[in-house]
Structure 1
Amino acid sequence: MAATSFIDTKEALIVVLDTLEVLPANPPSLYIDLEGVNLSRHGSISIFQLYVLPTKQTYLIDVRTLGSEAFTTPGSDGRTLKDILESETTPKVIFDVRNDSDALFSHFQIGLQGIQDLQLMELGTSTARRHYLKGLSRCIEGDLGLDENEVAEWKRIKESGIRLFAPGRGGSYEVFNVRPLSEEIRLYCSQDVQFLPRLWACYDDKLVLQLRDSVESATRDRVVLSQTADYDGNGKHMALAPDIWSGCDLDTKAVGGDSW
């Protein structure tokens, strides 16, 4: 796994921000995820995970400790993490932006822009009509071509973390707020975000122009929806493909000879 740093002071955060001043946009340099207790407007954000592709560094930013300063502390160039997250010209890659956007907007007034949603990118690469979305675990295990050892290690880290935080397994999401962070949770937080660049490369290579437009539109719709007063981030509806694809009949030549 890539090197991981736990960022729980303003001084350390400034150092991180200074490494983000000039980064390539294609492929995207920034890959993000969040963990927390009931991650939503009704819960809290504990950890902001950031993977920087050019430097192969993973940062676990301690939102529990830093609070709003995690997003409002400026780097040497004056830019904050909030500025970066709201920048339309700085691409950020995430898997299923909805609840993360809900939490960031509700608690820290961050209106995400420049988002590339891997869950929707995966849907856009499908050559068959689908009504349901794939989860991150299915994407990692099914689409990355991991060897047996990689799969075994990924599952081991995943399972160790789930046992600690999943209420149905006797755990509690409060483990994300315990300091110092346990090694199991530290690895759990680091692992998935480090797979996101490989998923992006896999799906980006398969997306044709017509479907790119649909993915971008659906991603913007997700962010807008997450900021509405009646947004509900729990329930079976979260597994449904966006209406933008429901019953669509795309030109089969545009999707490599296969229809939805």
Structure 2
Amino acid sequence: MADYILVDTVDKARDTIHALQSRQQLSVDCEGVSLGRTGELCLLQIAIPQRVYLFDIFVLREKVFDIGLREILERESCVKLFYDCREDCSALKHQYNVEVKGIEDIQLLALLNMKLSGKRWQFVSGLQKCMSYHLGDCGFSGAEKARVHTALDNDKGLWRQRPISQDLLRYAAKDVMYLPNLKDKILSRISVAPRSSVLDTIRYASKRYADFMINNEGPEDSPYIGTARLPERIIPNMVRRGGVISYTPFEDTSVKCRSCFWYTGTTRSDGQCNRCYDLYVEKLRAAR
């Protein structure tokens, strides 16, 4: 396992940020209490090869972003690997006014691989399942994660407790350290389009994935909470034009779904997009 370093003082943060300035790719994840627009961001993990930096946001607060971390996260030329960036980016934007740029969401890359392979692709999977499928046994223990999840279920405020336990620090580090390997493995399985076209598509889709939650001013009971469905109009189609494969951007629309508050170009009479309507029907059937 890569080394992990807790960054919990301003001096440590300055040194770490300086070390990250020249990096062209970082792996990023966040932990917190009810993480998202209205929750509390407590820990931000940034990984480079053989090392994971764990920024203690609960302790450092705005200071760590003001001394350079915001600039790194907002730099378009530096790739940020996430696995499901939605709530992380929403928390960073609404709590610390950080607009993450250069996102490549590996959850979406896995779905694009399935889509281009002609498989069912509208259902997202968790990191553990995706890791097991593409990388096999790499020391990413499902049992270890389950133990931490049980502890978090029993104490919703665990990420606020200081000092942070070593179990939580290891858990946080493992959530982010394997993302580059996962990215490379999935890309190696996509042969129908050049790597550059695939990554352009993923960057476009990842921004929409982040915006889906950042711009969502809907109720707390979003239809996507507790489901594995991908929202509409996130991953675009890839087409061949003049021998070059590229993605087709979605047409702009001002029409929002009344359930997920996403710009879906809704045409249903009840105001819902088709995906939200399907979720509504599924929940009704499950309740019978």
* Corresponding residue for residue 48 of structure 2: 52
Q: State the AA in 2 paired with 1:216.
A: R
2:87 matched residue in structure 1: 99
Return the index of the structure with the highest Cα Rg. 2
Structure 2 residue identity aligned to 1:134 = S
Q: Output the CA distance in 2 between the equivalents of 1:33 and 1:118.
A: 12
Instruction: State the one-letter code of the partner of 1:7.
Output: V
1:155: Cα distance to partner?
2.1
**Does the 8 A contact of 1:92 with 1:115 survive in 2?**
yes
Gaps of 5+ in 1: 74-79, 256-260
Q: Name which of 134, 146, 161 aligns with 1:159.
A: 146
| Offset at residue 250 of structure 1 (A) | 5.8
Question: Residue 214 of structure 1 contacts residue 244 of structure 1 at CA under 8 Å; is this kept in 2?
Answer: no
> What's the offset of the Cα at 1:71?
1.1
In 2, Cα distance between equivalents of 1:239 and 1:215: 19
1:37 to 21, 33, 40: 33
**2:174 partner amino acid:** Q
Number of positions where the alignment pairs a residue of Structure 1 with one of Structure 2: 234
> Paired residue for 1:88, among 73, 76, 85?
76
Shift of 1:145: 2.3
> Aligned to 1:46, what secondary structure does the other structure show?
strand
Task: Tell me what 1:188 maps to.
Answer: 171
Amino acid at match of 1:50: I
CA distance in 1, matches of 2:214, 2:98: 10
Judged with a 3 Å threshold, the aligned counterparts in structure 2 of structure 1 residues 216 and 249 are, in CA distance, closer, same or farther, namely closer
Contact 2:134 2:186 in 1 (8 A): no
2: CA distance, partners of 1:129 / 1:118: 17
1:139 is the counterpart of 2:126 = no
Structure 2 partner of 1:71: 65
Identity of aligned residues (%): 24
Greater RCO, 1 or 2 (C-alpha within 8 Å, sep 6+): 1
Consecutive unaligned residues in structure 2, runs of 5 or more: 246-288
Greater displacement, 239-248 / 81-90: 239-248
SS at match of 1:32: strand
Task: Sort the Cα spacing of 1:229 and 1:145 in 2 relative to 1 into closer, same or farther, 3 A.
Answer: closer
**How high is the TM-score relative to the length of structure 1?**
0.81
Question: What's 1:177 paired with?
Answer: 160
Q: Look up the equivalent residue of 2:56 and give its one-letter code.
A: D
| 8 A Cα contact 1:71 1:82, kept in partner | yes
Q: Which amino acid aligns with 1:91?
A: V
RMSD of aligned residue pairs (Cα, Å): 2.5
Which of 187, 191, 196 is the matching residue for 1:204? Answer: 187
The 1:72/1:143 distance shift into structure 2, 3 A limit, reads: same
Q: Take 2:62 and 2:161, find their aligned partners in 1: how far apart are those partners?
A: 19
